[in-house]
Structure 1
Amino acid sequence: MRVLAALSGGVDSAVAAARAVDAGHDVVGVHMALSRNRDQFRTGSRGCCSIEDAGDARRAADVLGIPYYVWDLSERFEETVVADFYAEYAAGRTPNPCVRCNEHIKFEALLDKGLALGFDAVCTGHYARIEDRADGTRELHRSADLAKDQSYVLAVMGPDRLARSMFPLCDAASKDDVRAEAAARGLGVSAKPDSYDICFVADGDTQGFLRDKFGARPGDIVDAAGRVVGAHDGAYAYTVGQRKGLAIGRPAPDGKPRYVLEVQPVTNRVVVGPAGDLEIAALVADDAGWLAHDAGPAAGDVGQAAGDAVPGPWIACSAQVRAHGATAAVRVRTLPGRALRVEVDRDAGGPGLRGVAPGQSVVLYDGTRVLGQATVSATERVTATAEVRG
């Protein structure tokens, strides 16, 4: 196969490309330039788009003996990932830019351009596993190394793009093993630190990044009863579950810490309360997409139209709301308009779901298999005194 290997400049993508070469594929490396102003991207190990990454990717391609190109996807990145980031925070929601990058850049813009140029598949260094079913369809599963599993951020890709994807690190036992393999292959990125945080927030200060965009918008911090307990410079800078940086001078009646329970962009208020109020009983999510052909609308009909008025049957599964968060036992049913209702099985034990914010992705699993995902739009708290609706 002709394979387009996405080379980020890190060790994972380099080893993934090397394995694709070993498998006999005709591999071409490409690095995605996601910003025209390269100075805004941090150097070092914090992000995945630092200035030196393009050079590291080129050197990896040279070692592997494959052609190498840089594709300018900066305009698409700005219009989708960065614009969505701003819009979601302005609406009092908490986005996941890595999910949006995988959706709009790595498995939409990159793959679509690759297919137009005659490539058969895109190869990336994600930690996830693809299984082929007897009927020719494909399933997305968690990787062998659960500590590095990235199936959560890949769940948004959809079945058509999954069919054109390769994840050669699917069976990697650990990141240490991948680094050792890179060193053995003579790849200079073998000891390069992992990237983390949001690549387009140059200094890692998300609140400062948002403040530069929106400016100061002073407002009240209130408790669940509406009593003013503090002040803020912009509700957009807060997210559900946040504890640090609240600057509340008045202690809670019980002396325990308070957390953000809700962000209200219309009233410009931030609602805080005790940790127990972060526990949710159910959530509603929109824009559902399904990878599993035996789940989803109408018990397998993944093409449910927005006008359908009949909810689907309840499905028992597990749900995850953060990239490396714990899963909770739930039951889920489809709602009209590509929506979902997810209810936590509180009798199953386990961690449940806490601090879930509108805008987060909820990914549904059957064991290691990804069933589908959607974007949280509303949550219902366990506590009888409060219900948060996004």
Structure 2
Amino acid sequence: MPRDSATPPLNSLGFAKPEAETRVLVAMSGGVDSSVVAAQLAEEGYDVIGITLQLYDHGAALAKKGACCAGQDIHDARRVAERIGFPHYVLDYENTFRDAVIEEFADSYLAGATPVPCIRCNERVKFRDLLETARDLDADCMATGHYIQRKTGPNGAELHCAADPARDQSYFLFSTTPEQLDYLRFPLGHLPNKDATRALATKYGLPVADKPDSQDICFVPEGNYASVIEKLRPGAAEPGEIVHADGRVLGRHDGVIHYTIGQRRGLGIGGLSEPLYVVRLDVDSHRVIVGPKEMLSTRTVPVREVNWLGDAPMTSRPEWEIAVKVRSTRPPRAAVLRPLSDTEAEVELLTPEEGVSPGQACVFYETGGSRVLGGGWIWRGR
């Protein structure tokens, strides 16, 4: 059926109106990715509003004077907005971020889990509270610099992996709900690589074009989890024993918070004939349990807080043949998903994986395709 000549064509964000009448809120972190998104949309003529969230203060988090990384990122986002010429606002979300992300991170870590706070931040802060702010500002949609693709399928918006597997951030966005996905846009997901993003930053003359990528969790500089936990939970580093799975006491440690499942180096129990790995953390007895590598292999992964993005309800079948990631850095592996309820399931890995840890996410993908079907949180080992 021909389009009514009076109906304007869809713009690049999917709205049937001119770009100048389409308001888009861009979540700006101060890095090159979100800066390029804002600049590109502004150049295309959209009504762009930049928002940067002040989530934490390194000085307060680490009891260290002079730390200003959060402040520098805000400054960089503001400079980009001034360079391109669109309004930019900074919102103080420190209390929200602490309550929704940092406190749970500390508690989960102390309970022997390996949490992924970046997922909780997307779920509870950026895609919930900030998204509501976007609606309050009458924005038609919210755009971010994440490397993931939103595609329109026969049943609505779908979440797909980024075109560049090396930059794909689908693991960190599995908890995006269908309602949020309707409102979100990810303009960088189709780019072939990060060089293409930096080339756009140079094209737009952005002051952050050469800014290095952030490698650490924002409130855990240099990846030192234990030091942050000790600041947040004084006295958390209770000493205890390092025990072999067969019961032998091999040494002492300064706190289970210094260890993670699968760790081999830095155990302080040298001189043994076999390589040993952390296979379990017994928080209640302050014990670090170590054993041979084969003890890390896991085939059955229980998950809860499942967010399902498939077309049919997850419980409409007794099992699904899918692919899953149990770590962000690992490729998807073949698995069978068996729903237990709308929000709980059991995942059977067809090939056992090592180092599957409570607190990590298990993300679901369609077999042989790019679509993200959701995921859940690993909550106990077997």
TM-score (norm 2): 0.88
CA distance in 2, matches of 1:108, 1:20: 22
- Structure 2: gaps spanning 5 or more residues: 1-21
For 1:339, which of 327, 338, 344 is the aligned residue? Answer: 344
Q: 2:40 maps to what in 1?
A: 19
For 1:256, which of 257, 274, 277 is the aligned residue? Answer: 274
1:236–1:265 CA contact under 8 A, matched in 2:
no
The CA RMSD over aligned residues, in Å, is 2.1
Q: 1:290 maps to what in 2?
A: 308
Structure 1 segment 152-167 matched on structure 2, within 5 A: 152-167=171-186
2:112–2:256 CA contact under 8 A, matched in 1:
yes
Structure 1 segment 299-338 matched on structure 2, within 5 A: 299=317, 313-336=318-341, 338=343
For 1:115, which of 101, 116, 135 is the aligned residue? Answer: 135
Instruction: Quote the offset at 1:81 in angstroms.
Output: 0.8
1:89–1:237 CA contact under 8 A, matched in 2:
no
Instruction: Quote the offset at 1:8 in angstroms.
Output: 0.7
Instruction: Quote the offset at 1:202 in angstroms.
Output: 3.8
CA distance in 2, matches of 1:19, 1:272: 51
CA distance in 2, matches of 1:285, 1:340: 5
For 1:195, which of 209, 214, 229 is the aligned residue? Answer: 214
Q: 1:376 maps to what in 2?
A: 378
1:102–1:154 CA contact under 8 A, matched in 2:
yes
Instruction: Quote the offset at 1:42 in angstroms.
Output: 12
2:25–2:51 CA contact under 8 A, matched in 1:
yes
Code of the aligned partner of 2:47: D
Deviations 1:299-341 (A, max 9, x none): 4xxxxxxxxxxxxx11011110122222211001111362110
Comparing 166-175 and 222-231, the one that deviates more = 222-231
1:55 and 2:101 matched? no
CA distance in 2, matches of 1:295, 1:23: 38
2:54–2:70 CA contact under 8 A, matched in 1:
no
Structure 1 segment 341-380 matched on structure 2, within 5 A: 341-346=346-351, 352-366=352-366, 367-380=369-382
TM-score (norm 1): 0.86
CA distance in 1, matches of 2:297, 2:203: 47
The share of aligned pairs that are identical, in percent, is 40
Instruction: Quote the offset at 1:173 in angstroms.
Output: 0.8
Aligned-partner SS, 2:279: strand
CA distance in 2, matches of 1:164, 1:37: 32
CA distance in 1, matches of 2:316, 2:299: 24
Q: 1:3 maps to what in 2?
A: 24
Structure 1 segment 37-116 matched on structure 2, within 5 A: 40=61, 50-116=70-136
How many residue pairs are counted as aligned between the two chains?
355
Instruction: Quote the offset at 1:237 in angstroms.
Output: 2.8
1:150 and 2:150 matched? no
1:48–1:195 CA contact under 8 A, matched in 2:
no
1:256–1:274 CA contact under 8 A, matched in 2:
yes
Q: 2:242 maps to what in 1?
A: 221
Aligned-partner SS, 2:374: strand
Code of the aligned partner of 2:82: D
Aligned-partner SS, 2:331: coil
When residues 332 and 49 of structure 1 are mapped into structure 2, their CA distance, relative to the original with a 3 A threshold, is: farther
CA distance in 2, matches of 1:237, 1:51: 29
Instruction: Quote the offset at 1:35 in angstroms.
Output: 2.0
1:204 and 2:223 matched? yes
Deviations 1:189-238 (A, max 9, x none): 11100001121124532122223324230111111122211211111332
CA distance in 2, matches of 1:321, 1:331: 13
2:57–2:68 CA contact under 8 A, matched in 1:
no
Instruction: Quote the offset at 1:293 in angstroms.
Output: 2.1
Instruction: Quote the offset at 1:106 in angstroms.
Output: 1.0
CA distance in 2, matches of 1:274, 1:214: 33
When residues 134 and 23 of structure 1 are mapped into structure 2, their CA distance, relative to the original with a 3 A threshold, is: farther
Deviations 1:40-96 (A, max 9, x none): 5899xxx99532111110111112211000011111000011011111011111100
Aligned-partner SS, 1:378: coil
2:61–2:228 CA contact under 8 A, matched in 1:
no
Q: 1:302 maps to what in 2?
A: none
Code of the aligned partner of 2:380: A
Code of the aligned partner of 1:282: T
Comparing 32-41 and 144-153, the one that deviates more = 32-41
Aligned-partner SS, 2:179: helix
Instruction: Quote the offset at 1:295 in angstroms.
Output: 5.0
1:42–1:199 CA contact under 8 A, matched in 2:
no
CA distance in 1, matches of 2:30, 2:342: 40
1:276 and 2:294 matched? yes
2:217–2:223 CA contact under 8 A, matched in 1:
yes
- Structure 1: gaps spanning 5 or more residues: 300-312, 347-351, 381-390
CA distance in 2, matches of 1:41, 1:199: 12
2:216–2:222 CA contact under 8 A, matched in 1:
no
